[in-house]
């Protein structure tokens, strides 16, 4: 059934093969993508994941898949709206599929042992990201994890994904983590102005979080998502000094770039 999807020329010279998915549509409300969104496949085998992303019944897809050995395939043209983000939000925008290019990185994920990402695979992901960025001027702070835009639902690509390897080659926005130490921290159920300040910084960066002064379930999920991307040495949803300092330095070092179409 998936063989009926029309083929198309690869956008990236790094794509070894085009395996068209029928699961895509027109981008809505934007002239170009302004988010590069990274996922892991989260299934036991990569073959199963590719089949899933090409199945009309599943209604999901991504633009690219990067295999464990570094091989890259393209499923959806970059000009089209692939269906990979689901219910999500970043910087107040909710149709993340229209705004983004999605890369699925072959890894079974947290439900199936979550092995490390091979170096050859990360090299391929980095090269693909750099290639995409030559066609689409996506700001570094909008190279995001699926967990960033859907913190209550998604964990991928997770705390084992080496964002620093991409950052060394100019992909993404990152600061050096402040190491975790004992000391004051904030957690679910607490209230007050410091919680409001934490939420305001997270919202300023782009996360969907209420600025209420109450450390609610959503705040905990967002802090955990932040940690999976930016403070990966401990992922617990607790805003300790390390988390707060890393977040502050991330916000203060944010590139001054056009955030894209509204």
The residues annotated with a catalytic role in the active site are: 104
Chain centre distance of CA 27: 19
Can you tell me the distance from the alpha carbon of 162 to that of 217, in angstroms, rounded to the nearest whole number?
A: 27
Strands (E), the chain: 17-18, 24-25, 35-40, 64-66, 72-74, 81-82, 100-105, 143-145, 185-186, 239-240
Q: How many CA atoms lie within 13 A of 112 on its CB side?
A: 12
Which of 29, 38, 40, 91 lies closest to 254, judged by CA? 91
Residue 93: φ, ψ to 5°? -90, 135
SS3 call for 89 = coil
């Amino acid at each position: 059934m998936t063989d009926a999807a029309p083929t198309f020329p690869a956008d990236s010279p790094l794509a070894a093969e085009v395996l068209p998915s029928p699961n895509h549509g027109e981008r809505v409300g934007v002239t170009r993508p302004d988010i590069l969104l990274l996922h892991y496949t989260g299934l036991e085998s990569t073959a199963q994941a590719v089949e899933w992303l090409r199945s009309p019944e599943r209604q999901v897809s991504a633009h690219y898949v990067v295999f464990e050995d570094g091989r890259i395939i393209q499923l959806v043209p970059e000009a089209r709206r692939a269906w990979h983000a689901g219910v999500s939000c970043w910087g107040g925008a909710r149709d993340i599929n229209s705004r983004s290019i999605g890369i699925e990185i072959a890894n079974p994920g947290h439900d199936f042992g979550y092995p490390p990402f091979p170096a050859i695979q990360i090299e391929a992901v980095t090269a693909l990201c750099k290639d995409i960025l030559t066609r689409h001027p996506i700001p570094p702070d909008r190279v995001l994890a699926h967990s960033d835009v859907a913190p209550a639902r998604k964990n991928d690509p997770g705390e084992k994904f080496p964002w620093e390897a991409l950052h060394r080659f100019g992909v993404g926005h990152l600061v050096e983590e402040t190491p975790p130490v004992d000391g004051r921290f904030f957690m679910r159920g607490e209230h007050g102005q410091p919680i409001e300040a934490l939420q305001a910084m997270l919202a300023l960066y782009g996360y969907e979080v209420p600025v209420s002064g109450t450390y609610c379930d959503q705040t905990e999920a967002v802090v955990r998502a932040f940690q999976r991307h930016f403070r990966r040495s401990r992922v617990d949803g607790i805003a300790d000094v390390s988390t707060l300092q890393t977040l502050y330095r991330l916000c203060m070092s944010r590139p001054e770039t056009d955030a894209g179409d509204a």
